[in-house]
Amino acid sequence: MGLKFSNFGKAIVSSAPGGTAGLSFTVEAGKGILFPVLGAGDYFYGIFKDVSGNREIVKVEARSADSLTIAAGGRGLDGTTPRTWAAGDYFVAGVTNAALQESLSNVNLIALGALATSADTLPYFTGTGTASLSGLSSFARTLLDDSDAAAARTTLGIPAAIAALIPQGTVMSFFQAAAPTGWTQVTTHNNKAVRIVSGAGGGSGGSVEFTTAFAPQAVTGWNSATTLTSAQIPSHTHNFSIYPTSGGGLVPSAGTAAGAAIPHTTSGGSGGGGSHNHIFTGTAINLTVQYIDMIIASKD
């Protein structure tokens, strides 16, 4: 967008602008193509002239085929005076002082022109109307002249196909809902934990699913049957009475009549010596650890 130029832009005027203020005119049929193609905001400087040597510089802002439109305020520029022109006069898209001064006053061109250039450097803009130089190695130049990504990969030594970077059959984990393009989800393993090993990987084992193992677990049960030893039970005795008899058997203490009980006598130990159990309960252990769902996929 801006100032435009063209080569060999010269044609005879078919219909001249009206008087000294007119802005529209046409050139001979088929000759409009010799003048610049103008987009929005584009313009070029042109010169009216006649056989007497009279000239007027104007600023043209639009062209449609052989019809041209002069910009408002674009008559009598660059030291010339608006004149009345007629069919048969000439219109030329020549290089004018106004065009040159405008081009040379461009702040970006001035910034580039002020750089002290040197070998293996590249100019670049650091802001509006300011520029600097950056190093440009011979290797960087071999990359800049590549026409497309494939050529750039060749220069950099990268395999032409990205698939070659990841061998087919490679299995990786992904934190996403589905396998990416070019991969197939592996469904052999499901609801399992990940174990890190120091030896060969790729194995699996265990029998309890992840969510089953890591669920609230009740603490309850029985202990094994236990037989108490004499040392483990409290020391105790049992009181009983002995009645002496005539003949053999126990001999009563002195002064004790036959048939009278002998007090303060204890028995030997009693009991069956069998085992017994104890039931136990406790607070449930909550093993519902937080987790994220991953998938594994194989490279196609």
Question: Using the 8-state DSSP alphabet, how is residue 33 labeled?
Answer: G
Q: pLDDT tens-digit profile of 234-247? A: 777 766 666 555 54
pLDDT band at 12 (very low <50, low <70, confident <90, very high): very high
pLDDT digit string (tens) for 255-278? 445 555 555 556 566 566 666 677
Q: Which of 55-59, 104-108, 250-254 has the highest mean pLDDT?
A: 55-59
Question: Which H helix or E strand runs over 150?
Answer: helix 149-156
Tokens of 232: 């483990």
**CB-side exposure of 261: number of CA atoms within 13 Å?**
6
The model's pTM is 0.44
CA pair distance 16, 13, nearest whole angstrom: 6
Q: Classify 149 as helix, strand or coil.
A: helix
